[in-house]
Structure 1
Amino acid sequence: MFMPLLRASGAATAIMSIALPAEAAAVDGAAMGLVWGIPFAGILLSIALFPLLAPAFWHHHYGKIAGFWALAFLVPFALLDGIGSTAHVVLEVALHEYLPFTILLLSLFTIAGGVRIVGNLHGSPSLNTGLLAAGTVLASWMGTTGAAMLLIRPLINANDNRRHNTHVIVFFIFLVANIGGALTPLGDPPLFLGFLNGVKFFWTMEHLFAPTLLISMLLLAVFYLVDRYYYVKEGVTRDPTPDTPIRVEGGLNIFLLAGVVGAVLMSGSWQPGWSFDVWGVDVKPQNLARDAILLALAGLSLVITRKETRVGNGFNWEPILEVAKLFAGIFLTIVPVIAILRAGTDGALSGIIELATGPGGGPRNEMYFWLTGILSGFLDNAPTYLVFFNMAGGDAPTLMGPLVNTLLAISMGAVYMGALTYIGNAPNFMVKAIAEQAGIRMPSFFGFMAWSVPVLLPVFALVTWLWLL
């Protein structure tokens, strides 16, 4: 019974080739059953539900849970296809996606954590709107995590005299922790995965600038009106932390962030025409050089930044450790899912593909946007992007050419709709935790959606009408 469910005859070929570019190997996802997707669904549901239902257990054991789901895929595969093939799969995933992804996040997290804004201002509607606008711009260059960690504490301090300040943090999550990261692969993890799979660095800037600008301006306008309403309603209140001049500590890290941009650009533009072979896995020197530079920049940030600055920022390694452990499991368990999707209508997920396919066989871009987006909001936007990127064919030149609107739909859905819930993007929960530590009463999981659904969905519907229909 077990063997037919796995449909093992073609699984090895499909899984072994999944981390390679589409043109490098044939993917026989049609030979794989849906049972191979159980570990991927399990790890995503664990990420979604454990922090809500058993937060203490999750905090202490999330690495073990991720390891369990990874083994749920690797052990059956090793039994059916051998330890050598399994080791090759792990190495391929690690070298092509997991390590570059984790190293970029590590460098942005470390460098941004060395920049601290010191001082306090009065949280008026104009100032708050300005801070949100600044964070939205910074997010595409510092990463949503970096920009959120840089600005959340100054924003909280500026509003610590306000009785109604929950909405300030909610809109901060919308804009700085999510939507602002849409313009470069540095901004949000799903876009960097696209870059690793061949999407050009400035493609997102060119194609997502207009919708991102529209969404940001609309949300900033709504925020200003909401914040002004509460500001006027409250009247004059005593500020427990009086205004003090703003200054920046660790400013040299800003130059290191420029180095990160340069390293990523280099890896996309330098094409030496040769590569290494590591146990059958093709490794390009430009990618090795990029990762080495990113690690060196992170190390330099640790050397030049005063310890007091990082302490003042509340800097610690737990967030990046969590990302590293969870995504190790995600990148392994997603392998068979991508194989099945690449099989198209011959695969076990043909129903989803048919839902996003028009009468003439072309993609229904509005469905790609909403399917990618809704799953990004309730699961995690990085693996969701990868799933739909491959569902659309997984070939970057085609997706940037004839299927440009499909890639636009996938990219917008993954980045924008990570703001729908606390679990859509990693910074969301981090911002919530910092705000609660500061005494701000944040809404529950569904309470947050009581803000996100009426505020965000009409804006996303407008974007669908303007760009995808």
Structure 2
Amino acid sequence: MKQLHWVAAAFLFALPGLALAAPIDGSRLSPLWGVPFVGVLLSIALIPLFAPMFWHHHFGKVVAACSLAFLLPFAYTFGPAAAGVNFVHALLAEYIPFILLLTALFAVAGGIYIRGNLHGSPGLNVAIMAIGAVLGSVMGTTGASMLMIRPLVRANDNRKHKAHVVVFFIFIVSNAGGSLTPLGDPPLFLGFLKGVDFFWTVSHILPQTLFLIGALLLLFYGIDWWYYHRHEEILPADPTPDNEPIGFDGAANFWLLGVIAALVLLSGVWKSSVVFNIAGTEVDLPGLVRDVGLVAVTLVSLCLTPRQVHEDNQFSWGPMQEVAKLFAGIFLTIIPVIAMLRAGVNGPFGAIVSAVTRPDGWPDPVMYFWASGALSSFLDNAPTYLVFFNTAGGDPALLMTSLAPTLVAISAGAVFMGANTYIGNAPNLMVKAIAEDRGVNMPSFFGYMAWSGAILIPLFVAMTFIWFR
């Protein structure tokens, strides 16, 4: 611990010098600086598939190694001051607000338990998914998924075929439902932190969201109706007895969800001249109030929620700890990637910028939609959003106005196409694990892709012709 105290003291002593460090010139960087970032993303995508036990026990070490593979050479090449400035900016401007919001939503959602037994008819399943889709933009796709998947699985545990129910739940609740507010999905919150207005997404992506969710609900109803009316689909005995009424335990957490939404909205509309400069990173008063408020909400939720509710929900901090460690590496190693993308066609990634740019120099929404979507399918959609947000120039004022179709394409691609694979969005794997734990025989990695390829890809093609040409 003494060494940590000395490091902290040295860092604080060096703050004035850090603030004077020059920003990175992305046009002068080698593409090799992006290798640690790619290493983090490929580790997240591949190691859990091929070495799940190793990943479970050592994922923090893997991410730390990739992070140091960037930070130490960067500090040696450009100096400790430049490394310190960029580290502090990633920490204070992006990582801490991002993690605090996810933590608050995770804690509050984990404090709500839906008790009782429903009976999974096609109409009821559609209703549960529609409610979950609405909740996705209010409490986040992770929160809505964790809240709704258990009662949905219980409702269908007397049926022979139920994997398709969970697959469509991932499509609708764990992904598409989070497309309307910065609370809904991590990519949109990162855009909010970059300066995108809170209500911009709902005013620009609502038609696409209604189309996708509506089409998925209709398709699901038809498929589920066919399964439901097959011979011997309903088991003779219901594994979940009807011995308690339908209701909520820990309902006080619903009020805390409202507080979270109010804090995030307040930080977007409240303009204050009070700004704290920390090693060259400006932290404004509204953002500080939001983050302190989110910590308070998390603590209040943990204090108010009865222990039995957490036990019934099988609540643990393991998933949140994993997300925190993974994104620490992502936000650190993405620093040089963003700098190189900001350099535009003259930078090391000029070929990527040119590929998504029309001959007249304007961004091509079709390319942005499919490029951001393709990467979000196999990598995490939050860093994918950041990459293409910066590829399009990174200016929120321009992206919300003249380049609005481009920002719509980036947002829709990152959020919607995270449903294409189990690894496209964190809730996908969490829902799969919960369903399998409750006895659902879920499709394999490629089996799930067969479902998404047959159901989602044609819908995305239709969206391309309607909105992104």
TM range (shorter): over 0.9
> Residue 158 of structure 1: which of 155, 180, 187 is its match?
155
SS at match of 2:245: strand
1:467 aligns with 2:464: no
Q: Which residue of 2 aligns with 1:3?
A: none
Q: Which runs of 4+ in 1 moved over 3 A?
A: none
> How far, CA to CA, are the matches of 1:84 and 1:343 in structure 2?
22
Aligned ranges for residues 174-253 of structure 1 at < 5 Å? 174-235=171-232, 236-238=234-236, 239-243=238-242, 244-253=244-253
Q: Which residue of 1 aligns with 2:442?
A: 442
Q: Which residue of 1 aligns with 2:316?
A: 316
1:80 aligns with 2:77: yes
Q: Give the C-alpha shift of residue 27 in structure 1.
A: 5.5
Return 5+ residue gaps in structure 2 as ranges: 1-18
- Indicate if the aligned counterparts of 2:274 and 2:284 stay in contact, CA closer than 8 A: yes
Q: Give the C-alpha shift of residue 26 in structure 1.
A: 6.7
SS at match of 2:247: strand
AA aligned opposite 2:241 = P
Q: Give the C-alpha shift of residue 287 in structure 1.
A: 0.6
Q: Which residue of 1 aligns with 2:117?
A: 120
What whole-Å deviation, never above 9, does each CA across 1:240-284 have from its counterpart, x for those lacking one? 223453100111100000000000011111111230111222111
Q: Give the RMSD, CA atoms, in angstroms.
A: 1.3
SS at match of 1:233: coil
Q: Give the C-alpha shift of residue 435 in structure 1.
A: 0.8
What whole-Å deviation, never above 9, does each CA across 1:103-146 have from its counterpart, x for those lacking one? 00000000111011001111111111111111011100010000
Q: Which residue of 2 aligns with 1:263?
A: 263
> Residue 50 of structure 1: which of 39, 47, 68 is its match?
47
Return 5+ residue gaps in structure 1 as ranges: 1-19
- Indicate if the aligned counterparts of 1:183 and 1:209 stay in contact, CA closer than 8 A: yes
> How far, CA to CA, are the matches of 1:403 and 1:85 in structure 2?
32
> How far, CA to CA, are the matches of 1:121 and 1:254 in structure 2?
21
> How far, CA to CA, are the matches of 1:280 and 1:364 in structure 2?
34
1:425 aligns with 2:415: no
> How far, CA to CA, are the matches of 1:126 and 1:279 in structure 2?
56
> How far, CA to CA, are the matches of 1:27 and 1:170 in structure 2?
43
What whole-Å deviation, never above 9, does each CA across 1:222-242 have from its counterpart, x for those lacking one? 001111111111444222223
AA aligned opposite 1:403 = L
AA aligned opposite 2:453 = V
- Indicate if the aligned counterparts of 1:121 and 1:242 stay in contact, CA closer than 8 A: no
1:102 aligns with 2:102: no
SS at match of 1:348: coil
> How far, CA to CA, are the matches of 2:182 and 2:274 in structure 1?
24
SS at match of 1:47: helix
SS at match of 1:277: strand
AA aligned opposite 2:424 = G
Equivalent residue pairs, number? 447
Q: Give the C-alpha shift of residue 28 in structure 1.
A: 2.0
SS at match of 1:382: helix
> How far, CA to CA, are the matches of 2:370 and 2:225 in structure 1?
32
AA aligned opposite 2:239 = P
Q: 1:190 to 1:234 in 2, by over 3 A?
A: farther
SS at match of 1:276: strand
Q: Which residue of 2 aligns with 1:11?
A: none
Q: Give the C-alpha shift of residue 83 in structure 1.
A: 2.2
AA aligned opposite 2:201 = T
> Residue 132 of structure 1: which of 129, 132, 139 is its match?
129
Structure 1 vs Structure 2: percent identity of aligned residues? Answer: 55
What whole-Å deviation, never above 9, does each CA across 1:172-230 have from its counterpart, x for those lacking one? 00011000000000000000000000000000111111110110010000001111111
> How far, CA to CA, are the matches of 2:83 and 2:396 in structure 1?
27
> How far, CA to CA, are the matches of 2:59 and 2:241 in structure 1?
41
SS at match of 1:199: coil
- Indicate if the aligned counterparts of 1:27 and 1:343 stay in contact, CA closer than 8 A: no
Q: Which residue of 2 aligns with 1:402?
A: 402
> How far, CA to CA, are the matches of 2:63 and 2:467 in structure 1?
37
- Indicate if the aligned counterparts of 1:163 and 1:234 stay in contact, CA closer than 8 A: no
Aligned ranges for residues 286-365 of structure 1 at < 5 Å? 286-365=286-365
Q: Give the C-alpha shift of residue 349 in structure 1.
A: 1.0
- Indicate if the aligned counterparts of 1:182 and 1:204 stay in contact, CA closer than 8 A: yes
